[in-house]
Amino acid sequence: MQQSAVPELAHAQTRPIHWVATATAVAGVMALSSLLQPDSATAAQPQAGRPGSKAAHAVAAPGTAGVAFPLTCGPVKAVVRKKATGDLDGDGRPETVAVVHCDAPMGTPPDGVYVLTRAKDGTPRVVATLTDPKAGDTVSDLAVRDGAVFATLLGYSSKDVPRCCPDVTDHAEWQWKNGSFARSTSAGTHSV
């Protein structure tokens, strides 16, 4: 008689007592885990009711629905293509920056970049035009960071360049200074 390379193990065959022991162990672990729960989390909560705190003045950024943008579109309507929000003037209330153009059926309509705030009655209103559509630029990127507006403007080097294919890229930044938005242009302005 030949011996096998692996001797039979006495415990290799399961019996009903093994299943009962396993089920009892699992039930014990589950019962113990329900008793040993961690304490509830206690995060520092903003003190919204405290006078003088920024949380006491927290309001939502103005929306763009129903806003009359200073844009003449004729028979088509104005369309908000992009928007970004943030506190631009340091008053603790966010403003909205909107990229808007006329919903032209053909071509690449130029964009206007507008800053919206809330009027005293809570309705959104346009308070500044950062880029006028008359300049002919389109906006490919828009962001609000650290109280400044950043945009990538695509434009044209001459009237001979087709409107489909802008050949100038301008990286612009606007910041609120002395009661108005001051524009600075990065050194990254270049032709495409």
DSSP states of 56-71: GG--PPP--TT---S-
What average pLDDT values come out for the chain (192 residues) when binned by 10 residues?
49 65 69 56 40 55 93 92 95 95 88 94 94 94 96 93 89 93 67 46
Calculate the alpha carbon distances from 95 to 24, 38, 85, 112, 177 in Å: 61, 41, 6, 16, 15
Q: How many Cα atoms are found within 13 Å in the side-chain-facing hemisphere of 183? A: 12
Which amino acid, 127? V
Place of tokens 């880029």: 131
Within 36-86, residue ranges assigned H as helices are none
pLDDT at 134: 93
Beta bridge partners of 79: 101
Phi/psi at 179 (nearest 5 deg)?
A: 85, 5
d(CA 18, CA 33): 23
Q: Which of 165, 163, 184 is nearest to 173 (CA)?
A: 184
Burial class (CB in 10 A: 0-12, 13-18, 19+), 16: exposed
Beta bridge partners of 176: 181
pLDDT at 103: 93
Beta bridge partners of 143: 150
**Are the beta carbons of 192 and 140 closer than 8 angstroms?**
no
Token pair of 99 as six digits? 């990229």
Within the chain, residue ranges assigned H as helices are 16-35
Q: With a threshold of 0.75, does the pTM exceed it? A: no
Domain range annotation of the chain? 58-191
pLDDT at 42: 40
